[in-house]
Structure formats: C-alpha cells, structure tokens
Structure 1
Amino acid sequence: MTSVVEGLRRVRGVPAPWTRTRLRTARGASCAFAALVLLTAFLAAYFPRAVQANEDRGVRRAVAETAASRTTVDVGLIRPDLAPGERARTLTSESVAEGYRALLRTVPAPVRVDAGQSSYGVRTSKDLQATDKDLPSPDAVLPRFTAAAQAGLAEHARLTSGRWPRAKGTVSEDTERVEVAVSGATAKALGLKTGRLLHVQGADLVFVVVGIVEPRDPEGAWWSAESQLRTPTMTATSGRPPQKYWRAGLLLPPAAGPALLGTLGQPEAYWRLAPRTDGLTAGVLPRYTAALGSLKGGPDLLRVKEAVEAHAVVSTDLDAVIAAHRGLSRALSPVVTVAAVGAGAVAAVTVAMAAGLSAGRRRAEFALLRARGASLAGLGGRLLAESASLAVPAAGLGLLGAWALEPGAGLWPSVLAAGAVAVLGCVALPLRALASHRKAGVHQEREDLAAARPGRGRTVAELTVLAVAVLVLFAARRGGGGAGAVPVLLALVAALVLVRCYPLPLRWAARVAGRARGLTGFLFFARAGRAAPAGTLPLFVLLIAVTTAGVGGAVLSDVAGARDRAALATAGADARVSATGALAALPRGVDEGVRKVAGVKEVAPVLIDETVALPVETGAQSTRPLALMAVDPASYGSFLRAQGLGGAPVPPRAERGGVVDAVASARVAKVFGTKPREISSLAGHVRVRVTRVADGPPALGGTDFLLLDRAALARRPTTDLLVAGEPDAKALRKLVDGARPQPRLRLRAEARAAYADSPLQEGVTRLFAAAVGAAAGYALLALLLHAQAGAAERTALLVRLRVLGLSRRGTRTLTLLDALPQTLLAAGGGVLVGWGAIRLLAPVLDLERLAFASADGRGPEGVVASLHAGAGVLLLPAAGIAVLAALVSLGQAWWLRRTRMITELRAGDA
C-alpha cells in the first residue's frame, strides 16, 4: 500500500515526506541517536527523583531512629493548685481519654498522629522511692519507680506470667492497694514475681505485682517514650561519690490513676502523640516545622488549651530533629551538585557530538541543497522536524522510565530535565548544519585546524565564559552558592585555552617532522593539523570527565579516609578487648583465645591506667586526667607495623631500678620537663623521664598520656588487648561473651559503620559515585563517536598506505598517534584543573557532614575530614582516559585487519 501511495505522489509531482524519507534511509544512525537521547533523558530525569527520594528516606529514617522521647509531641498537665476532688476528676480514665480524642482533632496538618503508638494516661512526675530492704541496691540505694496508668497495655504487650492488673471499685487517693504489671526485664533485674508487694516512701499505698508482660513492639513509641517502663536503668546519684541505683516502671490499669494522688510522686495527666513517618517528605518539612512551632507556642497551642485545659504544656524535640536533618541536607547538596553538573555537562557535549557526527556524514547533502536554493530557515526547519521526531519520543520514554523506577518523587524537576535533553536533541543537528552551511556552495574549503584563525564572535563568547566562571568562583568562595559548577567551569575555560593554544605546537611540530626521515611522524602531524576545528569537541568531553572524576575521587577517598581514622580513634585498633574496672585484668585464656581467632595478625597486651592525675603546672593544686599506658616494646612495635602505624613511637626498654624513659604528649612534656618525675598509679610508683614527644596512641583517644615499658611497673595486669588484622568478628565476640567477668569488645569495622549509618549520607555517596561513573561512560562514548567520525577517511588512508608498503606496526602506531593529541591534552589539563578545583572547593564543601553520622556532623577529637588534592585520585582518571583512547584506537586497527580490504588491494603483489 505504501509503495502505491509513493508511486501516485511521484506521478502527481508531490515530493516524498522529508522526515520519513530521511529516517528510512539512515535507520541505524537514527536509532542510535534516539537511544542516546533516551538514555540521557532517563538519567537526567531520574537523578532529581533519586535525590528527592533519598532525602525523603533520610528524613523518615532520621525521625524513626531518634529516641521516641524526643520525637513524640508531649502534652502535660500538672495542677497542684486544684482541690483534691477536682484533681482526682482530672486524673480519671474517662477525662484523660476524652482529652486524647480532643487533642487528635487539634493537630495541624501536615503533622499526622500514629494512633497505634500514641499513649496517654496518668503518671508520677517524680520517682517513688522504694522502702523494701530486700530489693537490689548496688550502692546501698534502693530502687526508684515511675508509676504510670497508661492506656492500651493489653494491646501493646503479651502476658507471660500472672494476669492483667485491674482496678477494683472506685479508686481515689485513699486507695490502699493497687495492682500493677512489670516488664520481664524489670522483673529479672529486681527479682520481682507475681504476688510481690512493693512499698514506697511517704505513702500508705501498696503496689501488688499481679502480672509480668513482654512488649510486642519494644522499639515503638508506646514503650520507648518513657523507656524505664520497658527496661530498668542503672542510674547514679549526683552526690560525691556517686551511688548507683535502679530506676524502673510500674504499669497500673488506666482506672487506677487517681490512686497516685496518695503518693509523693506528684501525678499528672499526659498525652504522647507519636508522629507518623510514612507520609513525611523533604518537601513538607518547612510546613511541618511551622506546624510544630504553632503547637508549641502559637495558635494551635491555644486550641490545645481549649481542648484539654488552660494549663496544658506542649513540648517536643521533633522540630530540632528535622532542623538537624535539613542542615545536613543543605551541607551535602553542594557535593551532589558537583557530580550532577559534571555528568550533565559531559552528557550534553556527547549528545552535541552525536549530532555533529550526523551533520558531518550528511555534509554533501546539505551543501547540495543549499546550492540548489534551499534557505537556511527551510533547511533548519526540516532538520528540526527530523530531530524532533526522534528526540521527543525518546525523551518521553526516558521520563516514563525514570518515573517507573522511582514513582514516589516529584514530577516537575524530572520533566524539566527530560525536556532540556529533548530540546538539546532537537536543536543540535540544525544548529550544527546551519553553522557549517551559512553560505551556499557545492564545494567548501577545507577547515584546517593548524591554519584556523578564531573570529571575533568566538573571542567574545570565550571572554563571556571566562567572566561567568570568575563570577561563579567568587560567589562560591564567599558562600553564595554555585560551588557545584566550579569544576565544570574550570574545565570549560581550560578547554577553551587549550583549543586556542593547540594549533601553535602543531605548526611547529609539523615543520620539524617534515625535515625528519620517518614517515609516521610527518603523517601524524599533517593529519592532526588538517583536522576540522569542530574535531576538538571531544577535548571538552574528556577534560570535563577527567576533572569531574578527579574531584569525585578526591571526595570519596577523603571521606573514606576520615571514616577509617575516626574508627581507629574510636576503637583504638582493628579490634580491642578491654577489661571492666580500674586496672582490672582480663580473664585467663582470653589472650591465647584471641591469638587463635582467624584473621588476627598481631596482638599487643597493654596496661592502661586512667586514674593518674597530671598537675596543670608545677605546684598547682588543680589537675588534669592523665592516661598511663604500659606496653611490651617488642609486641607493641609489631602491632603498630601490622596496624599501618609504623611511624608511631615505641617506648624504650626500661632498666631495672633506674629512671624509665617514656613517650609523652606535649602537655605532659611541658609539665614534667626533662627532669625525672615520680608517678603514682594503681600499678605502683615509678620514676619517669620524658624523652620523646608524640601524638597519642589511638587506644587513648587523644588524652594526655605517658607511654612506657610495662616491665618497669610493680603490678603488670593486662587490661587491654590491641589486635591488628581482620579478625573474625563472630568468633571474637563468642570468645568475649564466654569469658567471666565479661570484657568489652570494640571493633574498628563496627565503629566505621557507625559513622556512615545515616541514609542521607549513604544515598549521597551512592549518587555521587553513580554520577562520576556516568561521566566516565559518556567519555568513553565520546571517544567512540570521535573514532567513528573519521573512521571512513582514516580507513581509506591506512589502506592506501598499506598498499604503498606501510607495515602493520606503522599502521598501529599511526592509529594510536591519531588519538594522542587530544587525549594527552585532556589528561594533563584534567589533572591540573582537578587540582585547582579541589583547592577552590576545599573551604566550601563540608565533607565532615558527609563522613560522620553524628548529631553535630563531627568526628572524634583530632579527626577531621577535608578535601585534599591527592596525586593518586587525579592521575588515575587521566590514565584511565589514556587507556580508553588507546583501546579504542587498537580496536579500530584490529577491525581494519578483519575487513580484508588490504589483502584484496595487494592481491597482485605476489
């Protein structure tokens, strides 16, 4: 049917449709260009969705993993001024439940309440002091209880022993007995059983334990908002010396709340509203924090007072948690922008290169059309329609793919990104064709790169780019934003400078090669000089890719290095086993058992005494803590070498009965001077002389220290084992758990994971690495396109040269040399530009927020994360670009041998 229609059109003189005809005559090129636009549009549309989804997951997890005591909206009501009868009525279960239902109606959007984890009831605002002498009392201090008549016990716990507590009859402050339940952890710690009577100070009320329960969701807000109801805690008094005691919770039936009026606990009604996190997104955070502020001290607080009572008080730290998350997000956004802008620039130039390749392939066609009278507007319109028929559907499919992969994020950023790619795909070919065919003519002069002279328009454009780059750099250094565009702008300026300077050495080298005897060098420089100026476009791609990869590698390596140093400062070694108690020795057999664990390289038994006092100055009364670390020099030196700390100091061996030479921190050395000083510790008395000043060992955490030979001490128990290597964590933990008394185990791997547990940080790191990888992929594609652009001409030349006698080695050499100039320029320029970009971005990028997952975004004392221009991270991308270019050239030479064209042309030479 189609052939019949086309035949009728030819008979009637109607021309065939331009777009359909052009697409049908170049199906492979059209499909390849559409695939490139589809991939680019997908990545461009997916990236903002991935960033938003990462921020949404980050804020939800930040709220979910924060202690419920901080995230719940706590509404309290204390009215000691009321008459006893009125106070009793405010504490009844009906009154408290009615207040809860009224509160739910006052919570403003977008704050949503999780009714399943919210709680309300009556509790004691002051702890009740137990008087039963048989209860556990670690330092002769009896336990203290928090009593709570919290609604919903049966729904949030399961009964393991006894029965549920009940309130019999009317409960008031004169009630003498109240049934309670306790958690299994409380019963185990305090030795409670069903039927046990508990008495408290200052009250005739007796609590009867009738049930032992286990939480259904121990981490939920119902149990965690006041954690002592679930798990008893060992607390210390504020006196000197501090005395330890147990704090635990008693769970009363909801109707028994008024009975607490007969105690000294000052009972209060309370409502804890747990927030729902499933609908919490980064986009609603400003309105969310505004709503919380209104609840705490705005119009919604007045509604709360109307719903509950005029003296109601609202408190929560949820707004502070969200503010901390938003601060972290703002600190990390420049890091994401650096990679996104770099990858986007590389992708854009690659798409433009693909369009330029198509324009170069159809150069004769466009020249013929212009010679036959085609206008620039007409030719541009037809090419725009042709490109749009490929780019618009491809970009739409890319947008749909991004939406399907990440459906929950916002739509408009993705639409704008995919639309920008579609526009670029539509206009790249028309603009390139119009720029090359402004004048009509069948024959067009060759555009030699070595003889090209930049015009006035190009100079103005380059100066404009330079001015924009300077303004962005100035704004970024002053904290005004734009840090993400710094590497790309520097790379763009460097590429413009290199393209300006590139023809000059080519002309010089061509003259020298013309006087030389070899043929390969002359051919190489002649071909490089006769290339079209548009052929330098791959230089922009490679230079931006190398710069982006260099900055990205520096960011990732510095973050990883900071986490490693922080983990070492936290754990003290790859693994550390410590005894509990002042100068307590490790249990027998632990040392031998640790040495047998798989993965252990070296073990250093040490003695650490942190009870030594260091005078601030000679004769001063005030002191500072001083850590005394005694080691065996041989084993400790082996441990340091295995740990990678070979430059750390090792104390000299001590002579018996003499003064002990020691290594000390700077402050200790200043106080002690060079004269011998006597040190008194739990390990005995020893005279020491500071002979070396150094930084503290990781095991001491940066405190002031003395490091000496353990043989000089009277008591030499092993308090810590420092382990170097990659020990089997499960086997090591099993060994430690089986020892009595149980020592403490610290693993460097676990400490490192703790510094990277924020989902926002993990997501930013993954996005950053993915963007750098995408930039590298587009750089490889640009190399392939560049090779494809001159493939036909290069193949014809090499075939002719082979016929004339050029060896295979000469063919490979010439093929490699063809890719050499721009590759070397991109590699060398990328290293220099990457170094400059890192130096400029170092004060702007907050890597500590990316490296450390802590409340303030800071690591241990003395450990910082900053951006450094390491040689390895800069040279590796440059070497990778050179290797990729060489592989592409060798692949083309290999393909040329497979075509058998040379063999056929030389068939008669034998």
Structure 2
Amino acid sequence: MNTRAVAPWVRTRLRAAPGAAVALAVLVLVTAFLAAAFPRALDRYQDAGLRHQIASSPASQRNLRLMAAEANLDHSPEARESALAPGTMKDRFQAALRIPERPLRVDSASSAYGVRLPQRSDATDKWLPRVSPRGPQFLLTTRSELPRHSRLVAGRAPVHTLAPRAPAGDPPGPPEVVALEATVTSATAETMRIKAGSVVHLDALPLGGKAEVRVTGIVEPLAPKSPYWSIDTTLHTPELVADKTGDVSHWVGTLMLPPEAGPALTGLTAAPEQFWDLAPGTGGLTAPDVPRLTSAVAALESGHGLVALREEIGETLTVASDFEGLVDAYRGARAAIDPVVAVAAFGVGAVAGVVLLMAGALAGARRAAELALLRARGGSLWGMAGRLCAELAVVAVPAAAAGWLAAYLLLPGARTTASVLAAAAVALVACTGLPVRAAVAHLRPSAHSDRTDTVRARPSRRRTVAELTVVVLTLGAVVALRRRGTDAGTDQLVSAAPVLVGVVASLLLVRLYPLPLRLVSRPLALRRGAVGFLSAARAGRAPATAMLPLLALLIALTTAAFGGSVLAGVADSRQRAATDEVGADARLQKGPGKSFDARSLAAVRAAAGVREVSPVGIDPWVSMPDGGDDVTLLAVDPASYARLAARTGIGAFDAAALDGGGEGRAFPVLASPKAAQRLGRGTDVELRSHLLGGSFTARTAQVVPSTPALRDTEFLMVSSAALPGHRPTALMVTGEGLDPTALRSAAGPAVPVHVRTERIAAYADGPLQQGAGGVYVSAVAAGAGYAVLAVLLSLLQAAPERRALLARLRTMGLSRGSGRGLLVFESLPQALLAACGGVLVSWAAIRLLAPDIDLDTLALAARAQAGITVPVALRPDAWSLFVPALAVVGVAVGVAAGQAWWTTRRTTTTELRAGDTR
C-alpha cells in the first residue's frame, strides 16, 4: 500500500535553505535576462542598421527609376498625347506599385512620376547668371503631386498650354515656338534671379525648335531631403556643372511643368522620356529580409518583375537602381562587425555558464553529507537527480521566465525565438548542473572520501586524455585560423578563440599550481609564526577540482580585457582620424579667394573654450618652376602653427626653421617630399601667389611629410612675413570644451566650421556601430561582474570550513589579527594565479586575434566618404589588461578580510558545536 510522504521534498528543502533559493533565483534571472537581451539587441541594431543604410543614402542610389521613351513616330498625335496624359501616367504608376515583391515595399507618398525632355536645353536670356561665356541650362519636366510636397510662396500655379502640332501623317519637324508655364523652387529662383512672371527662352531643343517658359509661381519644398526632391540634385537647387573638357562651368536648373503639359513635350522631342521614381519604404525591413530584398530588386531590374512592368507600361521600359549596392554595403559592414561582437557573446556566455555550474557545485558541497546519506540508505541516482532537478526547477524556471520577460519588455521590436531559446538554455543549465554533479560524485556509495588536496592529488588517466583532447582541438583551431584568416567559415572560430585559449590556460595553470605552493611552503615552515605556514598549507588543502573558479576567472578576465582593448582601440582610432581630418580641435576655412578680416579673427579668438588660433593663408594654385602640377602654398604664423603641429603630432617642426628671409634674402620654406624634390635643395626660386596677393623668393629649408592644415596634398609652407599683404583663409583653433555654436556664430553663417569632437561622433553615427559599441560595453561590465561573482562563490564554498578552523585556532591562542591574516593570505594564491594568468591569456588572445579582427567598420563609419587613411588595429590596452586583474585580487582579499572580521566577532561556541564534523 502506498503511503504519502509526511512532508514533500521540494517544499521542505526550500524552507530549509530560503537564502540559497533566493540567491539562485537572482543569479538565474540576471543571467537569463542577459542571455535573452543579447539576441534581441543584436536584432534591433541590425534591423536599424539596414534601415539607416537605405534611408541615409542619396535618393539617386536607393530609388528605383523606371524610364520609358514614347516613340511618337509610330503613333498618331492623339495616341501620343493619350499615352502621356496625366490619367494614363497615374494608372501606370499604380500598376507599378503592385509589382514589387515582398519585402520590397514602395513608399507611394515619396514616389513621383512624370514626363521630361531627355536632354537639358540652353537658355538664351542675358539676365540669367553666368560664371562663364556659356549660359545656363534647364531641364523641362512634369512632376506629380507637386502641391503635396511644396508650399507656394509667390505667384500662382502653372496651367497647361497646348503645344503646336504637326498635321497628322507628317513626320515631326521643327515646330514653332512652344509657350509653356512652369514653376521653380525658391532656391532656383534665388540663384537664377527668377521672379514670378519671368520668361525663360530655351534654344537647342531636340527637334531644333524653341520654347518660351513663363515662370508663374515659386514654391518652397516642405521636405527638401525627402526622396521626392533629392532624386534629382538640380530639382530644388541649381548646380554648377563643367562641360566635357572640364574647363567651362555653367549653371543647371529645373523648370517644373504642370502634369497636363506632358503631351506638349511631343512637340519638342521625338521621344519624351517617361519616368516613375519609386522610393523604397524602410519601415518594415529587417536583417533577415536581406536575401529576399536583393532577389526582389534583381527581379525588377532583369527578371520576371521587369517582364510584368513592361506588360503594364511598354517594351521600352528600363529599370535602374543602385539599391543592390546599398544592401551589399550593409552586408559588408555586418560581416566586419559580427565576428567582433561574437567574441563578446562567446566570452560572456561561457563565463555565465561556468558561474551557473559553480553555483551548483557550491550547493553540492554544502549538501554533500545529505546526499551521501541518501545513497547509503539505498537511494537511486535517478531518484536523487530527479528530486534535485525538481527542487531547482521550481526556482530557476520562473526566474528564467522573468528574465526573458524583462528583456522582451525593455528591448521591444525584435524577434523572440532566439531570446526564448537563450533563456531556456540558462534554465536548463541551472536545473541540471547540481543533479549531474551529484550523480557523478555519488555514483558509488561510500562511507568517507579520500582527500583531494591540490598538492597531493594525481590526475587520473581519463582526465589527462580529456585535457590533451581539448589542447589538440584548440591548437588545431588556432592553426586553421592562422592559415585561413577570416575567410568564409572561420568567423565562429575567430570569435571562440579567447574562450578556447582560456580553457587551455586554466588546464595548464591547474597542473602548474602545486609547484609554486610546494616551493613557498618549505621556507615558510622554517619561519617563526604560524600564519605563513598555515596559509600555504590551507591553500594546498584546497580541492583539486577547483578548476571551475579558475576557468570562470580566466574567461571573464579575457572577455573584459579583450572588450576593453577593442573599445580603447576604437576610441583611439577615432581620435586620430578626427585629428587627421580636421587638423586641430576646430578648423574654419573659407573658399579660394575669400579670407577672414581682423574683426572675424578677433571674434573667433574670443569664442568660448578657444585657447589659441593659428591663422593660415592657403593658395592651392601656385605654379612650380618645372611647369608641372600646381602645389598648395601655406602662409602661417611660425610660432602658433609649430605648437599646433606638435600637439596634433602631424608634421611637427621647429618654428625657427621658418625664420629669416626678406631684404634680398630668400625665405625658408618647409616642403612635402615631392614638392621639395621639384623645388630643389639650396636653390632660390621665385614663387607668386595670386590668391594671397604677393610674390617672394623661396628656398627649401626642411622636408616634412604632412601638415595639420592639409591632407594628402603636396605643399609648401612659408612664414606669413613673406606675404605681408595677405589675409588668412583658414583658422586652426585649439582649445578644450569648444562650443561649436559659438564658433559658428563668430565665423558667420557662410563659413564652414569643422569641429573635431563632432567628427568623432560622426564616425559612430550608424546604428551598427552604436549597437556593437553598446554590446561591447555591456559585455565588459557583465564579464567584470561575473568575475567578481566567481570570486565570491569560490570563497563562499569554503566559508564554513574556514570559520570552524579559525574558531579552533582561536581556542589554541591565535590572535584576532593573525586569524584575519590567515584567511587573507590563504585566498591570495588562487587570486594571484587567476590575475597573472588572466593578464597573460588576455594578452595572448589579443595578439592571436589582432590580424583577423577588422575594426575599421566598427571604428570609422564614414571612413570611405572621408577618405581616411588612419590604420585601425587591435592591440593590448594596459588599463584593460591590469585593472580587471587587480580588481579580482582586491575583491578576493576584501571578501576574505570581511569573512575573517565577521568570524572573529562571533563566539567560539557558536562554531564549535558538539558532533560537528567540520
């Protein structure tokens, strides 16, 4: 007959040790939160990175441009006009919106369509601005939904005027003058001196005719940076464009006709160009959509999507886009950043798992006598393991669920599968660590167990084989990594390398640990006093199975040191890149032919945070005696500019090298290597600067490879005394805590101001860079936290025995100070071993991974755009190596001192109870 237990096992055990249950719940909750938050944070910044990559790119790259030429030679005038009518264009636009496949979505509100002339037309009016003998050019185009995207600021909206038409059946010929009405943007009106009511006369049309375009209205774009306006750079702002020879520049603008004027363009060209600019929507895009997104764009460009579009619009339709290039750039950035982030994931994941196992080991050691008694009374391994697993599951599963829920609420908008699996894995390790350890430890019932001291223990053959297997696998992984580099399939190997090196190092240190203990114990035994000898003896009596704390500490220290080195390398490279790009803490520079007057110079010097201003005159077109390419001439104040070069580390020189010259003597100049070779050494050369207004005799005094005011440019540098009549065109500003707003206010609205701190922030403006940086900061903090926790768990495991030992020694006359010193010195060997091993392992892991870790994309988001040549390399950072290691030693000593202080305050009878076997 079955009898019901007097007290359920789980409830009894939880009531017996509520503190341990609460501690386990907190540990599992925090670990599950971190495990669930990592994939969600990864998803969030990868999704945001994809959307940012597309949304921040120029509309000319991301938009899908559909173009078709209406061949009017084969149709009647009525058919041609019908094909270009607003209703037909809108129907074809709606049809085009339905064809792209998911996940490619078209933002219809930012898209546009219309009809335009295929070439720009010359304007013949003399009142239009000119920068060369050639007059401006205009593009004639219609544009849909213009009133929705602009605000009328002057005049009225244009209306359609029908263009003259040749008789039916006659081939198109030169038409009469076509009268049209148009509107322009306010920027176009300001630059081209156009007012409401102005008439622009266009010549050199495709059919040889002429057009009179009356500008009836001026509009202000509501969102100038939206895809609607930015698809064509001249749509809202005219541009200076050079001709094919590159010598003559002229203005290019756009005249926007009403949609009803599309058919009228058939009188100006044989084949007006129809266009549909489809702006991709980025709101719902996610990183897993990248393959399908690329396929959808490829289908529109040259696949079944193009076939469907031609069926709806016409056989002449073509699709052009650089969208695939944007997606490929995003893939490249992810491929460079993901292995770096995965290093943090492997490190923190490994140390978290080891700490969870340490918690199980602590519980197993605390209940060793209880479990041995159960086995001695006939308890089965499965029954014991099942009860322990149920006991832990009651605490761990709700804690893991709470940790996942916290990650879900704090990091919304990400996929849930990976986070659920990560939290479940934490719960599984927490529930199975103690049962498995207990089952292995109590596989055979025994009345007592032999001593497993660190010094005396001899590793078994099975352990030796297992350790050698791990070493061989790690060496094989390292060799494969060094041979293959970062080719496909090696990213996970690169990321797991610190963990593998930490495992091997912990195995090696555990093997070598008894040797220094034996060497230290002998001289300590001969010294007077018992504290030193007892400390060494107690350290040697530690269990030989204490590899878990050492493994946790090594992995945690390696993760923290590696992450800190990555962050330090990224910060250092951004500092150097910004300094190389700006040349000072801030730079104010006007265009050629423009300069700063004395009032502006004084205002900049009086701005907040400015310590020194070095004025520089720059002329990029100074002719050389050999008749080759021009070089850039710098006229500088020797003293202030020399201090600037010394502070930035860019082309440092002695200010005295520029002293001298005048009164018939040549002025010494500092030259870049190629410029010095062309100028010659020891030769006086006459140089003239048209922009700086003067001439002087120059002689090469010194060669410097670079200079703060220029980058990648051949130059000559002379004292400003050589050109006494010039005024500076650039101001190099030095100072801490510069206020960019104050500098821009002092310089004026038209002066570009480049601030070094702003450039540093711009290098990390992408969500990929920001997200990866945030993950690394969290990884360093988590690694440090788990290292401290590993120290605490290792010390708590031996706390009862330490208290009992100290109580016995107190009864034999040991003083309180000696007792506290005993516990502190006992904890030092393992802490020092972990600290020294952590520094060495971290240094080895960083040196191992440095050639295969690409920090360029993580450090410098705008590297390609800025043309930055600063190398970004991973190298050991002293602070990241030694601070975590010293912190581990400090925590170990502090906890041991706290234990000793607490133990010595308690009475001896509290620890020495009758029947206590400790």
What is the TM-score with the length of structure 2 in the denominator? 0.91
Q: Match of 1:599?
A: 609
Pick the aligned partner of 2:880 from 850, 873, 894.
873
Q: Match of 1:126?
A: 119
Q: Match of 1:503?
A: 514
Distance 1:807 1:711, change over 3 A: farther
Pick the aligned partner of 1:182 from 181, 184, 206.
184
Q: Match of 1:259?
A: 264
Q: Distance in 2 between the 1:163 and 1:257 partners?
A: 19
Alignment of 1:150-229 (within 5 A): 150-167=143-160, 176-202=178-204, 203-229=209-235
Q: Match of 1:237?
A: 243
Q: Report if aligned partners of 1:651, 1:663 keep a CA contact under 8 Å in 2.
A: no
What is the TM-score with the length of structure 1 in the denominator? 0.92
Partner AA of 2:199 in structure 1: L
Distance 1:589 1:901, change over 3 A: farther
Partner AA of 2:121 in structure 1: L
Partner AA of 1:129 in structure 2: D
Deviation, structure 1 residue 876: 2.6
Deviation, structure 1 residue 165: 2.0
Q: Match of 2:598?
A: 588
Partner AA of 2:211 in structure 1: L
After superposition, the C-alpha distances for 1:478-534 in whole angstroms (9 at most, x for unaligned) are: 122211101111111111100110011112211221111132211210110001123
After superposition, the C-alpha distances for 1:694-748 in whole angstroms (9 at most, x for unaligned) are: 330232113233334333446553232211113221111101116xxx5432211
Pick the aligned partner of 2:304 from 290, 299, 305.
299
After superposition, the C-alpha distances for 1:91-135 in whole angstroms (9 at most, x for unaligned) are: 221221121122122222221111111111112221122122112
Q: Distance in 2 between the 1:831 and 1:646 partners?
A: 36
Question: Is 1:710 the counterpart of 2:720 in the alignment?
Answer: yes
Distance 1:764 1:585, change over 3 A: same
Which moved further from structure 2: 88-97 or 263-272? 263-272
Match of 2:252, SS state, is strand
Pick the aligned partner of 1:736 from 721, 741, 747.
747
After superposition, the C-alpha distances for 1:135-180 in whole angstroms (9 at most, x for unaligned) are: 2223344322222211111222222222222225788687833222
Question: Is 1:724 the counterpart of 2:734 in the alignment?
Answer: yes
Distance 1:606 1:809, change over 3 A: farther
Deviation, structure 1 residue 385: 2.4
Pick the aligned partner of 2:529 from 498, 502, 518.
518
Q: Which sections of structure 1, spanning at least 5 residues, go unmatched?
A: 1-7
Deviation, structure 1 residue 440: 1.3
Question: Is 1:797 the counterpart of 2:805 in the alignment?
Answer: yes
After superposition, the C-alpha distances for 1:590-634 in whole angstroms (9 at most, x for unaligned) are: 22222222211222223333223568xxx6x6x345333333332
Alignment of 1:663-682 (within 5 A): 663-672=670-679, 674-678=681-685, 680-682=687-689
Distance 1:874 1:358, change over 3 A: same
Partner AA of 1:343 in structure 2: V
Distance 1:660 1:796, change over 3 A: farther
Q: Distance in 2 between the 1:778 and 1:719 partners?
A: 56
Q: Distance in 2 between the 1:790 and 1:288 partners?
A: 58
Q: Match of 1:416?
A: 421
Question: Is 1:701 the counterpart of 2:701 in the alignment?
Answer: no
After superposition, the C-alpha distances for 1:214-247 in whole angstroms (9 at most, x for unaligned) are: 222222222222232222223333435332x322
After superposition, the C-alpha distances for 1:653-690 in whole angstroms (9 at most, x for unaligned) are: 42234344443333344445543341523055545454
Which moved further from structure 2: 131-140 or 792-801? 792-801
Q: Match of 1:863?
A: 870
Match of 2:596, SS state, is coil
Question: Is 1:351 the counterpart of 2:351 in the alignment?
Answer: no
Distance 1:168 1:680, change over 3 A: closer
Distance 1:731 1:792, change over 3 A: same
Q: Distance in 2 between the 1:574 and 1:655 partners?
A: 29
Distance 1:649 1:285, change over 3 A: farther
Pick the aligned partner of 1:887 from 890, 894, 916.
894
Q: Match of 1:578?
A: 589
Pick the aligned partner of 2:371 from 347, 366, 370.
366
Partner AA of 1:725 in structure 2: G
Question: Is 1:558 the counterpart of 2:551 in the alignment?
Answer: no
After superposition, the C-alpha distances for 1:346-372 in whole angstroms (9 at most, x for unaligned) are: 111111111111111111101111222
Distance 1:409 1:633, change over 3 A: same
Partner AA of 1:114 in structure 2: D
After superposition, the C-alpha distances for 1:292-313 in whole angstroms (9 at most, x for unaligned) are: 0111011111111111001100
Distance 1:265 1:393, change over 3 A: farther
Deviation, structure 1 residue 809: 4.1
Question: Is 1:247 the counterpart of 2:255 in the alignment?
Answer: no
Q: Distance in 1 between the 2:529 and 2:53 partners?
A: 68
Q: Which sections of structure 2, spanning at least 5 residues, go unmatched?
A: 166-174, 913-918
Q: Match of 1:4?
A: none
Match of 1:82, SS state, is helix
Pick the aligned partner of 2:344 from 318, 321, 339.
339
Which moved further from structure 2: 60-69 or 636-645? 636-645
Pick the aligned partner of 1:786 from 772, 780, 794.
794
Q: Report if aligned partners of 1:586, 1:743 keep a CA contact under 8 Å in 2.
A: no
Q: Report if aligned partners of 2:184, 2:218 keep a CA contact under 8 Å in 1.
A: yes
Q: Distance in 1 between the 2:688 and 2:827 partners?
A: 71
Q: Distance in 2 between the 1:790 and 1:216 partners?
A: 71
Which moved further from structure 2: 765-774 or 595-604? 595-604
Q: Distance in 1 between the 2:907 and 2:670 partners?
A: 76
Which moved further from structure 2: 140-149 or 885-894? 885-894
Distance 1:459 1:265, change over 3 A: farther
Match of 2:615, SS state, is strand
Deviation, structure 1 residue 404: 2.6
Q: Kindly, what percent of the aligned residue pairs are identical? A: 43
Deviation, structure 1 residue 279: 1.0
Distance 1:585 1:275, change over 3 A: closer
Q: Report if aligned partners of 1:123, 1:268 keep a CA contact under 8 Å in 2.
A: yes
Q: Match of 2:632?
A: 627
Q: Distance in 2 between the 1:901 and 1:695 partners?
A: 75
Alignment of 1:705-854 (within 5 A): 705-713=715-723, 715-726=725-736, 727-737=738-748, 742-802=750-810, 804-854=812-862
Partner AA of 2:501 in structure 1: L
Q: Report if aligned partners of 2:114, 2:142 keep a CA contact under 8 Å in 1.
A: yes
After superposition, the C-alpha distances for 1:260-309 in whole angstroms (9 at most, x for unaligned) are: 23336963111111111111111011011011011101111111111100
Q: Distance in 2 between the 1:47 and 1:235 partners?
A: 50
Partner AA of 1:736 in structure 2: A
Partner AA of 1:572 in structure 2: G
Match of 1:431, SS state, is helix
After superposition, the C-alpha distances for 1:307-360 in whole angstroms (9 at most, x for unaligned) are: 100110011111111111111111110010011111111111111111111111
Deviation, structure 1 residue 74: 0.7
Q: Match of 1:49?
A: 40
Q: Distance in 1 between the 2:701 and 2:530 partners?
A: 69
Q: Match of 2:618?
A: 608
C-alpha RMSD of matched pairs (Å): 2.7
Q: Distance in 1 between the 2:745 and 2:400 partners?
A: 56
Pick the aligned partner of 1:38 from 29, 33, 50.
29
Alignment of 1:444-455 (within 5 A): 444-455=449-460
Deviation, structure 1 residue 35: 2.0
Distance 1:681 1:309, change over 3 A: same
Distance 1:829 1:674, change over 3 A: farther
The number of equivalent residue pairs is 885
Q: Report if aligned partners of 1:395, 1:419 keep a CA contact under 8 Å in 2.
A: yes
Q: Match of 2:135?
A: 142
Which moved further from structure 2: 649-658 or 47-56? 649-658
Q: Match of 1:111?
A: 104
Q: Report if aligned partners of 1:602, 1:639 keep a CA contact under 8 Å in 2.
A: no
Distance 1:450 1:601, change over 3 A: same
